[in-house]
């Protein structure tokens, strides 16, 4: 959890990889404009709940269900911005 | 993951068994009648039946395992964390279907009359139990995912396998068995 603050980008990539098993190549190709919701078939409600649970654990956060929206998950960049804003890191 | 670990333990001369919780898999009991207390009793009975002398608990297993035995717990988790994740899954699934639900209301309903979460019907006793349950480990050695390498398989959206992790887990157990 300690290195989450030093590199939220890296930490978020690790969490995404743990949930979605993206693999090294897809993970490296992930940019701020890369679409998430609607673009990754594995990202169903169960996976989204797991993803946000894992984000909470990794960044030591407590997120409101209402914060989990299609807008938050639109791209990797919107998700990273959201996580940064939540943890102030 | 655990089946591979058990085969690896067998190869190292350690017998193991993986009991089904009452109400799950081949159990004839109804899931909705279960409680953490009942599961703890059942796990203690199973340990006695098989004359187990060590125990390995994984994640939520740490809420119900026989903690009088020496052994290991892998990334133990609080009951409230599991419950919250299941509630959130339902809230998100409902939202996709155009229904509004919120975790707090669902939790209140679960405490009163039980609730269906992740395809399981949880009775009020199980909901109440999970809400307050903490891992029971008492002197067992806590194993973290970083010791196994790779990422946690229970986070995977699609079921995954990682033989190296299973082997490493068996190695740890075998190496520390008499420690």
Tokens 């969490």 correspond to A15
Residues B56 and B22 in one domain: yes
pLDDT tens digit string along A50-66? 999 999 999 999 999 98
Q: Considering CB atoms only, which of B81, B91, B118 is closest to A65?
A: B91
Residues B175 and B122 in one domain: no
Q: Considering CB atoms only, which of A21, A43, A52 is closest to B156?
A: A21
Residue span of the structural domain in which B124 resides:
80-134
What is the reported pLDDT for B162? 92
CATH number at residue A52: 1.10.1200.10
Residues B49 and B127 in one domain: no
* Backbone Cα Rg of chain B: 18
What is the reported pLDDT for B54? 98
Our count of domains for chain A comes to 1
Phi, psi of A35 (to 5 degrees): -70, 145
CB-CB neighbors (< 8 A) of B82 in chain A: none
In terms of Cβ atoms closer than 10 Å to its own Cβ (0-12, 13-18, 19+), residue A36 is buried
- pLDDT by residue, tens only, chain B of 179 residues: 899 999 999 999 999 999 999 999 999 999 999 999 999 999 999 999 999 999 999 999 999 999 999 999 999 999 999 999 999 999 999 998 999 999 999 999 999 999 999 899 999 999 999 999 999 999 999 999 999 998 899 999 888 889 999 999 999 999 999 97
Residues B88 and B105 in one domain: yes
What is the reported pLDDT for B48? 98
Residue span of the structural domain in which A55 resides:
2-87
CB-CB neighbors (< 8 A) of B102 in chain A: 65
Residue length, chain B? 179
pLDDT score of A2 more than 60: no
Cβ partners under 8 Å of residue B83, min gap 6? B107, B117, B127, B130, B131
Residues B70 and B146 in one domain: yes
DSSP B115: E
Residue of A nearest to B145 (CA): A18
Residues B86 and B60 in one domain: no
Contact across the interface for B92 and A50, Cβ inside 8 Å:
no
Six-digit token string for B11: 């190869």
Contact across the interface for B85 and A19, Cβ inside 8 Å:
no
Residue with the larger pLDDT of the pair A3 and A69: A69
Query: How many C-alpha atoms does A35 have within 13 Å on its Cβ side?
Result: 6
> pLDDT band at residue A19, thresholds of 50, 70 and 90?
very high
Our count of domains for chain B comes to 2
Residues B61 and B85 in one domain: no
Residues B5 and B61 in one domain: yes
What is the reported pLDDT for A5? 53
Residues B130 and B140 in one domain: no
Tokens 């279907």 correspond to B97
Give the count of beta carbons closer than 10 Å to the beta carbon of residue B45.
12
What is the reported pLDDT for A1? 46
Residues B87 and B22 in one domain: no
pLDDT score of A24 more than 80: yes
pLDDT tens digit string along B101-120? 999 999 999 999 999 998 99
């Amino acid at each position: 959890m300690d290195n989450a603050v030093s590199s939220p980008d890296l930490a978020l990539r690790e969490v995404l990889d743990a949930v979605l098993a993206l693999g090294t190549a897809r993970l490296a190709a992930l940019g701020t404009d890369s679409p998430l919701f609607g673009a990754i078939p594995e990202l169903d409600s169960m996976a989204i709940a797991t993803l946000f649970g894992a984000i909470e654990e990794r960044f030591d956060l407590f997120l409101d269900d209402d914060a989990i929206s299609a807008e938050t998950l639109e791209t990797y960049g919107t998700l990273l911005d959201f996580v940064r804003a939540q943890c102030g890191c | 993951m655990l089946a591979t670990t058990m085969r690896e333990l067998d190869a190292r001369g350690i017998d193991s068994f993986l009991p089904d919780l009452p109400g799950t898999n081949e159990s004839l009991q109804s899931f909705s009648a279960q409680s953490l207390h009942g599961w703890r009793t059942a796990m203690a009975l199973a340990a006695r039946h098989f004359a187990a002398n060590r125990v390995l608990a994984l994640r939520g297993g740490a809420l119900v395992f026989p903690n009088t035995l020496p052994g290991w717990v892998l990334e133990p988790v609080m009951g409230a964390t599991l419950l919250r994740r299941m509630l959130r899954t339902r809230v998100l699934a409902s939202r996709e279907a155009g229904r509004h639900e919120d975790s707090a209301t669902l939790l209140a309903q679960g405490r009163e009359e039980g609730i269906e979460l992740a395809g399981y019907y949880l009775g009020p006793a199980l909901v109440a139990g999970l809400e307050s349950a903490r891992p029971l480990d008492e002197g067992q050695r806590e194993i973290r995912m970083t010791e196994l390498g790779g990422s946690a398989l229970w986070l995977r959206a699609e079921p995954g396998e990682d033989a190296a992790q299973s082997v490493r887990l068996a190695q740890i157990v075998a190496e520390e068995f008499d420690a």
